[in-house]
Amino acid sequence: MAFVVIPHLAPEFKSNMVEILQRHTVLPVKEVQQNLPLEANQVYVVPPQQETGVENGVFRLHPPFLPSGQRMPIDFFFQSLAKEMRERAVAIIFSGVGTDGTLGLKTIVEQYGMVVVQDPETALFHNMPRSAIKTDFVDYVLAPEEMPAKLVNFSNLPHQKGRPLLDSKKSEQSLQKIFYLIRSQTGHDFSKYKRNTIFRRIERRMNLHQTKQFAQYVRFLQDNPAEVELLFKEFLIGVTRFFRDEDAFELLKSKYLPRLLQEKKEGDTVRVWVAGCSTGEEAYSLAILLQECIEQHPAIQNLKIQIFASDIDPAAIERARNGSFPENIAADVSQERLKRYFVKIDSQYQIRKELREKVVFALHNVNRDAPFTKLDLLTCRNLLIYLSPELQRKVFPVFHYSLNPGGILMLGSSETIGGHPDLFQALDVKWKIYQRSESTVPMSRIDFPFSFSTTEPVKPLPEPDLQVKRESTMSTAVHRIMLDQFAPPSVIINAKGDIFYIHGRTGRYLEPAPGQAKLNIFDMAREGLNYELNSAIHKANLLREVVMVENVQVRNEVGTQHIKLTVKPLMEPEIVKNFLMVVFEELPAAKKKPRRSKVTGETNTQKDDIIAQLEMELQFTKQRLQTTVEEMHSSLEELKSTNEELQSANEELQSTNEESMTNKEELQSLNEELMTINLQYQAKTEELINSNNDMKNLLDSTELATIFLDQHNNIKNFTPQATQIFNLIRSDVGAPSPILPPTSSTRTSPKT
């Protein structure tokens, strides 16, 4: 191993890191210089005023691209190291201030390397470790003294690079088990992804666990559902950043987007779909480009922007909706754009609300869900390289169907349209920008998905068994008596408040509501109980913890009672999982205070009680309103996505219906042609029969002995007179000729 140390130092600071490190290691310590070879068992210290990378086994120093406050030397080196060393690269992030290294470690993981982060609890400055951990791409979070053992194990483990697993006879069966485990836990099927990529990702997880046998890792997955979730995220490595391939985005902005936008009319909407958006950087980049293009052309100032960004990773979609990114995006986003489109909050940049509202993020599977349609621009970058050729052949006709005539398709730099040159024509071969061709695609080539939602169906709650079972043993009977005598009244409900089971006498707290009969606890709660009950149930269901409320005043026929209200989420047994238990415990009556002599004192006390209760209800209402607003925003985005999918499905069905009508007309026309041809065949058959009869009558009337032979001198037919010369019967047809010997198939025999 070679060790490269990248300290955070100011440009004007003179570093003594080489001398300091040399006191603590027997390995030679050097400061990095231009073209210095990278060798094993050496320690290298990066200079503070240079951007350091690795190329062809030697260090390359570059002048800084950004001002000193915006430089990210760790990100720069990690990205260079990943390209050079690939699966042999190891990134370690220690204590530090800021977010440097967060973007670079994603590149390390993409190239199958290993990422280790110092445990924030042991770090003097925890900003850098915590920022790295938030990416979900970290393999180990360790204290520094625990890292050497992991490094040694990782370096000693052979890297198989996918080929041994790929060639193994038993690997396919084990792989299908892994696909089944992931599909059962996440609902996503990876069986159509490229095998080599899948095996490389699995091998990376195996190396991290020091597992050498594929079957052993499958058993480990079966016993550890958390590892299944981590492997699922491993398959979805979303290495993206703002304006990735900057030249491609600049070409899009300067040449192709203006041409596309100028064809729009006033008040039109520009529709864009970003398939496989990951954490949203590319979707927001396109929103910025479109906004800038519209502002540069006065004739299209009133155009609206609508961007649909989709991915199958719920965690990535949630982060994209939030629109918060680490401060090291300054390396990819200009200062002008940062000031205009972002808001600095602590050490994060957040997209401004007016730009976030132009982008709708949704869970969507390109292979399974209905596509968005009537699009002007569709980008699917660095997703197709993971899909099998079979799946790619299915996706491209759907992309063609989704785009408007003349719409633009933008792929990643390593992707092509494959075997579909008739669907798209290349605008820029280097940056993989294509335009939808005018050729129509037969409906038979478009394999439309039929699932319009990625949400898993909610399993219905088990119906309560209301049948009263007879106690068959003494212990059961004793338990029943003790519950009736000592257990407080309680009810079992679901999250909506529907009552499934009632224990004890609850009439002092609940009563049937007037109107149509309902067994709902919110409708049946007595006066004074509804507010506290609503708040406690909502909190217990949200936090999944026990909620207790003391001294709740309930008014009923006997007056005002003070009770203790307890709401407990039930986790077991399985039949009552996800239910809630509400317990009513009556408290001893409080001692009455001496009666006041003045009426005004009583009135003021009552007013204070009423005001306090109203303030509590108002506070609870505010909290519920805020929660409802947040849920409504999330639901609104999902509804927008669902609406688009349903509209697309409707258009697909209309197209299919039109195609069916056309096929029906074609079949009717074809049927008429077949009937005409059939009549012609019948007429020809009758003519042939008549001709044969005439020929037979002619030959019979001539009284000439005639034998008809085929090219092999076998008998085809003969006249009655021939039987007087040769001993022939009707069954001799097909037999060898009695006159000429049989011939080969290459010779033509004379006919008699």
pLDDT tens digit sequence for 136-190: 778 888 999 999 988 888 887 655 444 445 445 557 778 888 888 888 888 888 8
Of 307-316, 393-402, 618-627, where does mean pLDDT reach its minimum? 618-627
Q: What residue spans in the chain does CATH classification 1.10.155.10 cover?
A: 163-235
The predicted pLDDT at position 744 comes to 52
More confident residue, 484 or 64: 64
pLDDT in tens, 548-567: 888 888 887 777 888 888 99
* Residue 501 in tokens: 């089971």
Q: What is the mean pLDDT of residues 32-41?
A: 90
Helix H segments across 309-388? 314-322, 335-341, 353-356
Pairing status of strand 359-363 against strand 348-351: unpaired
The predicted pLDDT at position 442 comes to 55
Q: CA of 227: how far to CAs of 137, 139, 316, in Å? A: 13, 12, 18
Q: State how far the Cα of 501 lies from the Cα of 585, in Å rounded to an integer.
A: 17
**Contact predicate 247/254, CB 8 Å:** no
Q: Is the dihedral of CA 586, 591, 593, 595 positive or negative?
A: positive
Q: What residue spans in the chain does CATH classification 3.40.50.150 cover?
A: 246-445
* Residue 266 in tokens: 């006033």
Q: Band the pLDDT of 351: cuts 50, 70, 90.
A: very high
Q: State how far the Cα of 369 lies from the Cα of 301, in Å rounded to an integer.
A: 34
C-alpha radius of gyration, the chain, whole number: 40
- φ and ψ at residue 751, rounded to 5 degrees: -100, 140
SS (H, E, C) 70-128: CCCHHHHHHHHHHHHHHHHCEEEECCCCCCCCHHHHHHHHHCCCEEEEECHHHCCCCHH
Q: Is 183 exposed, middle or buried (0-12, 13-18, 19+ CB in 10 A)?
A: middle
Q: From the centroid of its chain, how far is CA 349?
A: 25
Q: State how far the Cα of 384 lies from the Cα of 434, in Å rounded to an integer.
A: 15
The total of other beta-carbon atoms located within 10 Å of residue 495's CB is 15
Of 64-73, 358-367, 426-435, where does mean pLDDT reach its minimum? 64-73
* Residue 152 in tokens: 């040694």
Q: State how far the Cα of 503 lies from the Cα of 702, in Å rounded to an integer.
A: 113
Q: State how far the Cα of 470 lies from the Cα of 682, in Å rounded to an integer.
A: 83
CATH class for the region spanning 246-445: alpha beta
Q: What residue spans in the chain does CATH classification 3.30.450.20 cover?
A: 474-586
Q: Is the dihedral of CA 145, 151, 154, 155 positive or negative?
A: negative
Q: Which residues contact 13 (CB under 8 A, 6 or more apart)?
A: 48
- Tokens 């933008």 appear where? 410
> Under CATH, which number does the domain 163-235 receive?
1.10.155.10
* Residue 512 in tokens: 């049937």
Give domain 3-156's CATH number out of 3.40.50.1820, 3.30.1360.70, 3.40.50.180, 3.30.70.360.
3.40.50.180
Q: State how far the Cα of 640 lies from the Cα of 626, in Å rounded to an integer.
A: 21
Q: Is the pLDDT of residue 597 over 60?
A: no
The predicted pLDDT at position 162 comes to 41
The predicted pLDDT at position 463 comes to 42
Pairing status of strand 359-363 against strand 304-311: parallel
pTM: 0.55
Q: What is the mean pLDDT of residues 531-556?
A: 82
Q: Which residues contact 548 (CB under 8 A, 6 or more apart)?
A: 564, 565, 566, 567
Q: Band the pLDDT of 409: cuts 50, 70, 90.
A: very high
Q: Which residues contact 420 (CB under 8 A, 6 or more apart)?
A: 393, 396, 397, 400
- Tokens 């006249």 appear where? 719
- Tokens 């080929």 appear where? 163
Q: What residue spans in the chain does CATH classification 3.40.50.180 cover?
A: 3-156
The predicted pLDDT at position 620 comes to 67
The total of other beta-carbon atoms located within 10 Å of residue 23's CB is 7
pLDDT in tens, 453-476: 333 333 344 444 433 344 445 556
CATH class for the region spanning 474-586: alpha beta
The predicted pLDDT at position 453 comes to 38
Q: Is the pLDDT of residue 65 over 60?
A: yes
Q: Is the pLDDT of residue 516 over 60?
A: yes
Coil, strand or helix at 272: strand
Is the omega angle on the peptide bond into residue 464 within 30 degrees of 0, that is, cis?
Answer: no
Q: Is the pLDDT of residue 577 over 50?
A: yes
Q: Extract long-range pairs of 387-390: CB within 8 Å, 24+ residues apart.
A: 387/192, 387/193, 387/194, 388/192, 388/193, 388/194, 388/195, 389/418, 390/192
Mean pLDDT of the chain: 80
pLDDT in tens, 223-241: 888 888 888 888 877 668 8
Q: What is the mean pLDDT of residues 525-542?
A: 81
DSSP state of 562: E
The angle, 0 to 180 degrees and rounded to 10, between the axes of the packed helices 225-235 and 214-223 is: 120
The predicted pLDDT at position 602 comes to 58
The predicted pLDDT at position 590 comes to 54
The predicted pLDDT at position 692 comes to 84
Q: Is the pLDDT of residue 304 over 70?
A: yes
The predicted pLDDT at position 42 comes to 92
The predicted pLDDT at position 145 comes to 92
The predicted pLDDT at position 295 comes to 86
Q: Which residues contact 558 (CB under 8 A, 6 or more apart)?
A: 508
The predicted pLDDT at position 440 comes to 65
Q: What is the mean pLDDT of residues 523-549?
A: 82
CA-based nearest residue to 88, from 54, 59, 118, 119? 54
Q: State how far the Cα of 698 lies from the Cα of 708, in Å rounded to an integer.
A: 15
Q: Is the dihedral of CA 657, 663, 664, 666 positive or negative?
A: positive
pLDDT in tens, 258-298: 888 888 887 788 999 999 888 889 999 999 999 998 888 87
% of the chain surpassing 90 pLDDT: 11
Q: State how far the Cα of 384 lies from the Cα of 193, in Å rounded to an integer.
A: 9
Region of 346 (left: φ > 0; alpha: ψ -120 to 50; beta: rest) is left
More confident residue, 601 or 621: 621
- Tokens 């009135």 appear where? 603
